[in-house]
Amino acid sequence: MSILAVGTVALDSIETPFGAEDKVLGGSATYIAFAARYFTPDIRLVGVVGSDFPEEYLTLLRKSGIDLRGLEIDPNGSTFAWAGRYHYDLNERDTLATHLNVLQTFDPIVPEAYRDSRIVCLGNLDPAIQRKVLEQVDEPELVVCDTMNYWIENTPDSLRETLALVDCLIINDAEARELSGEPNLVKAARVIRGMGPHILIIKKGEHGALLFSEDQIFSAPAYPLEDIQDPTGAGDTFAGGFVGYLLHEGTQSPESYKRAVIYGSAMASFSVERFGPRRMVDLTDSEIHARVESFRELSAIPAVTPIYSA
Amino acid sequence: MSILAVGTVALDSIETPFGAEDKVLGGSATYIAFAARYFTPDIRLVGVVGSDFPEEYLTLLRKSGIDLRGLEIDPNGSTFAWAGRYHYDLNERDTLATHLNVLQTFDPIVPEAYRDSRIVCLGNLDPAIQRKVLEQVDEPELVVCDTMNYWIENTPDSLRETLALVDCLIINDAEARELSGEPNLVKAARVIRGMGPHILIIKKGEHGALLFSEDQIFSAPAYPLEDIQDPTGAGDTFAGGFVGYLLHEGTQSPESYKRAVIYGSAMASFSVERFGPRRMVDLTDSEIHARVESFRELSAIPAVTPIYSA
């Protein structure tokens, strides 16, 4: 019952119309792990930080039950740092700075004790780095992967190599269109699934998510939140909730993927309620369950009787 | 069992990446009526055309069972004409020309036989014209209204007067944000419902629709179509299916509004499959029912059991 969360561990500088904070604990591996740990006790993290990484963040991650034996602390560098500013409507953001720092020389070493991880969740990283991790694990039941426009545009061949090894790709709608060259998302999904991932999840932010698996399409709503503080990490939190729930349920089927998409959506809807990962450290089971039930109420279609033309 | 469809009757020139056609039968009243007539035999139309309006279109409308006693034929003018071009992804369009023609002097006269209409569906028109229609009907059970950014920006006071008389407003997400001054759609909905309409439907194109009624929010998916020929009239078709189904069901409740949103969405999903209103003239009851069931499969969340933290 183990999940390997791979990705960045970052210090974020975030500006939204509702506030600004520096050196916020962030990164894809962080958000994946924070969400997944509500579903299983065995969350393993592979990533790298620099000598400037605050001890209190290491403590917070450990206290959350996240296994940090795979987190390299590079004494000669600084932690990956990202700075971004969200627009008024929170649907768009400008990246103000990206300092790769220790990520530039990151050569992931997966601890021996992690080789048997059942689900591997690859946060957004250089596709070559993602493959290096996959080479160091035995046969996981599921490999889930995120990527972004940068890799689609700059390392398309390497990305293809990684996609061939992936069971489930999670990307947003713009990335799906760019990766496939198809504006129509149904056609785009077919093209992308032809590259390897038999499951595709297209995230649409405030519009929810689409799941393509076998011959089914599932449309998940977004939770209509009135107060969004900070969308940072929502996509990674989604991925963490998705893999966490799947491992918890212990089965893989079109039905369990649908449920997992709802759990992922629920976890993401919590994450955006506060700055950084703050909301993710103290959720309760009943809060999570109530939010999942809200998704059901939000999208349930009451029974209909057939109409007959006049 | 009667619906009064009010709005434009137009000759459209449409360009999409998949073709181009001139003098296509269009207009909001046309699409509303074409969709609603699958649900009730008594569809009444109020609008105006010019002397150039093709006889074959009048025949088509009549053959579809639409009562045209309220369609004025102005011998001194030309029919309202709209020309638009859709972009590659079909989610955006440029309006190339708008010739108001006979609409400029349109002073709607509602025939005496229409005064008892049970549902009035006001397509996008000058809000003052929309009010003139409402003044000429007895007490309808439901007044549904569409509008657009032009009236929000140019006749805000007149629009407010109309909204105070409306039960249900159907607009898109950009219009909801502009009308309310709120980027958050949940907050926007509260502001707009304070203006009069106790039901608000926010259309989001390829992302579905949100329904706000009483203290409920309902999120309807969009049907994932692979081949979209022409999005023209999709919003009006949605409105026609919505009012048609509501009249057919004969009750008004948060549950019936949800069902009506799905019927509206289903009708709109048919409409975009062909140029102009072509797909709307020969649908069958079983096609409509099957499409509605597809919406249910698309968004049904399989039962979940609560999770418990690790």
Q: For the packed helices B254-271 and B234-249, what is the interaxial angle rounded to 10 degrees?
A: 140
| A298 shares contact with chain B (CB less than 8 Å) | yes
Nearest to B39 among A263, A284, A307 (CB): A307
Nearest to A301 among B42, B262, B284 (CB): B262
Q: Tell me which residues of chain B, numbers 227 to 266, contact chain A at a CB-CB cutoff of 8 Å.
A: 228, 245, 248, 255-256, 258-259, 262-263
pLDDT at residue A307 in the model: 63
| Cβ-based contacts of B262 with chain A (< 8 Å) | 301, 304
CB contact under 8 A, A38 and B204: no
Collect all residues with Cβ–Cβ distance below 8 Å to B59 and sequence separation of at least 6. Answer: none
| B281 shares contact with chain A (CB less than 8 Å) | no
Q: What is the pLDDT of residues A215-255, one digit of tens each?
A: 999 999 999 999 889 999 999 999 999 999 999 999 899 99
pLDDT at residue B305 in the model: 66
CA distance A116 to B46: 70
pLDDT at residue A17 in the model: 86
Name the average pLDDT for chain A.
95
Q: Which of A216, A301, A308 to probe by mutation at the B interface, max B CB count within 10 Å?
A: A301
CA distance B125 to A138: 65
CB contact under 8 A, B308 and A285: yes
User: Which pLDDT band holds residue A308 (cuts at 50, 70, 90)?
Assistant: low
Overall pTM > 0.90: yes
Torsion angles phi and psi, residue A48, rounded to 5: -145, 140
CA distance B121 to A113: 66
Query: Low-confidence residues of chain B, pLDDT below 50?
Result: 310
CB contact under 8 A, A310 and B177: no
Q: Considering only alpha carbons, which residue of chain B is nearest residue A178?
A: B89
10 Å Cβ neighbour count for B306? 11
Query: B239 is written with which tokens?
Result: 């409105």
How close, in Å, is residue B75 to chain A by CA atoms?
A: 33
Q: Quick check: A189 and A202 in contact, CB under 8 A?
A: yes
Tell me whether strands B2-6 and B119-122 are parallel, antiparallel or unpaired.
parallel
| B93 shares contact with chain A (CB less than 8 Å) | no
| Cβ-based contacts of A255 with chain B (< 8 Å) | 302
In chain A, the N- to C-terminal Cα span, in Å, equals 57
pLDDT at residue A92 in the model: 82
pLDDT at residue B88 in the model: 79
pLDDT at residue A1 in the model: 76
Helix/strand/coil percent split, chain A, to 5: 40, 25, 35
Nearest to A186 among B177, B226, B256 (CB): B226
| A118 shares contact with chain B (CB less than 8 Å) | no
pLDDT at residue A87 in the model: 87
Q: What is the pLDDT of residues B180-233, one digit of tens each?
A: 999 999 999 999 999 999 999 999 999 999 999 999 999 999 999 998 899 999
| Cβ-based contacts of A42 with chain B (< 8 Å) | 310
CA distance A106 to B155: 59
Q: Scanning the structure block, which residue is given the tokens 């920006």?
A: B153
Q: Quick check: B258 and B218 in contact, CB under 8 A?
A: yes
CB contact under 8 A, B299 and A221: yes
pLDDT at residue B90 in the model: 79
Q: Tell me which residues of chain A, numbers 152 to 181, contact chain B at a CB-CB cutoff of 8 Å.
A: 177
Collect all residues with Cβ–Cβ distance below 8 Å to A67 and sequence separation of at least 6. Answer: A42, A43, A44, A45, A114
CB contact under 8 A, A296 and B292: no
CB contact under 8 A, A298 and B217: yes
Q: Which of B43, B307, B308 to probe by mutation at the A interface, max A CB count within 10 Å?
A: B307
Angle, CA of B275, A208 and A293, to the nearest 5°: 125
CB contact under 8 A, B37 and A310: yes
pLDDT at residue A306 in the model: 63
Over residues A12-37, mean pLDDT = 95
Nearest to A185 among B220, B224, B248 (CB): B224
| Cβ-based contacts of B266 with chain A (< 8 Å) | none
CA distance B263 to B291: 9
Q: Which uninterrupted H or E stretch holds A30?
A: helix A28-36
Nearest to A259 among B89, B296, B304 (CB): B304
Q: Express as a percent the part of chain A with pLDDT over 70.
A: 98
Angle, CA of B162, B168 and B169, to the nearest 5°: 65
How close, in Å, is residue B39 to chain A by CA atoms?
A: 5
pLDDT at residue B309 in the model: 55
| B310 shares contact with chain A (CB less than 8 Å) | yes
pLDDT at residue B141 in the model: 97
pLDDT at residue A304 in the model: 73
CA distance B133 to B107: 9
Query: A95 is written with which tokens?
Result: 């990246």
SS3 A37: coil
Nearest to A285 among B183, B255, B309 (CB): B309
Q: What is the pLDDT of residues A151-179, one digit of tens each?
A: 999 999 999 999 999 999 999 999 999 99
Q: Quick check: A230 and A275 in contact, CB under 8 A?
A: yes
CA distance A168 to A152: 17
Q: Tell me which residues of chain B, numbers 195 to 234, contact chain A at a CB-CB cutoff of 8 Å.
A: 204, 206-208, 210, 216-222, 224-226, 228
How close, in Å, is residue A290 to chain B by CA atoms?
A: 9
Query: How high is the ipTM of this complex?
Result: 0.92
Q: Tell me which residues of chain B, numbers 13 to 42, contact chain A at a CB-CB cutoff of 8 Å.
A: 37-42
Neighbouring-strand partners of residue A14: A21, A84
The secondary structure of chain B, three-state, reads CEEEEECCCEEEEEEECCEEEEEEEECHHHHHHHHHCCCCCEEEEEEEEECCCCHHHHHHHHHCCEEEEEEEEECCCCCCEEEEEECCCCCCEEEEEEECHHHHHCCCCCCHHHCCCCEEEECCCCHHHHHHHHHCCCCCCEEEEECCHHHHHHCHHHHHHHHCCCCEEEEEHHHHHHHHCCCCHHHHHHHHHCCCCCEEEEECHHHCEEEEECCEEEEECCCCCCCCCCCCCHHHHHHHHHHHHHHHHCCCCHHHHHHHHHHHHHHHHHHCCCCCCHHHCCCCHHHHHHHHHHHHHHHCCCCCCCCCCC
Tell me whether strands B42-50 and B2-6 are parallel, antiparallel or unpaired.
parallel
pLDDT at position A89 over 80: no
User: Which pLDDT band holds residue A303 (cuts at 50, 70, 90)?
Assistant: confident
Neighbouring-strand partners of residue A71: A47
CA distance B165 to B149: 19
CB contact under 8 A, B187 and A302: no
**Residues A73/A78/A80/A86 CA torsion (nearest 10 deg):** 140
CA distance A88 to A91: 8
CB contact under 8 A, A299 and B177: no
pLDDT at residue A101 in the model: 97
Torsion angles phi and psi, residue B213, rounded to 5: -150, 145
Query: A153 is written with which tokens?
Result: 């545009």
How close, in Å, is residue A169 to chain B by CA atoms?
A: 19
| B186 shares contact with chain A (CB less than 8 Å) | yes
How close, in Å, is residue A139 to chain B by CA atoms?
A: 24
Torsion angles phi and psi, residue B142, rounded to 5: -150, 130
Count of CB contacts below 8 A, A vs B?
142
Q: Which uninterrupted H or E stretch holds A213?
A: strand A209-213
- Among the listed residues A226, A219, A304, A192, the one whose alpha carbon sits nearest the alpha carbon of residue B206: A219
pLDDT at residue B227 in the model: 87
* Ramachandran area for residue B100 (φ above 0: left; ψ -120 to 50: alpha; else beta): alpha
- Among the listed residues A31, A16, A222, the one whose alpha carbon sits nearest the alpha carbon of residue B208: A222
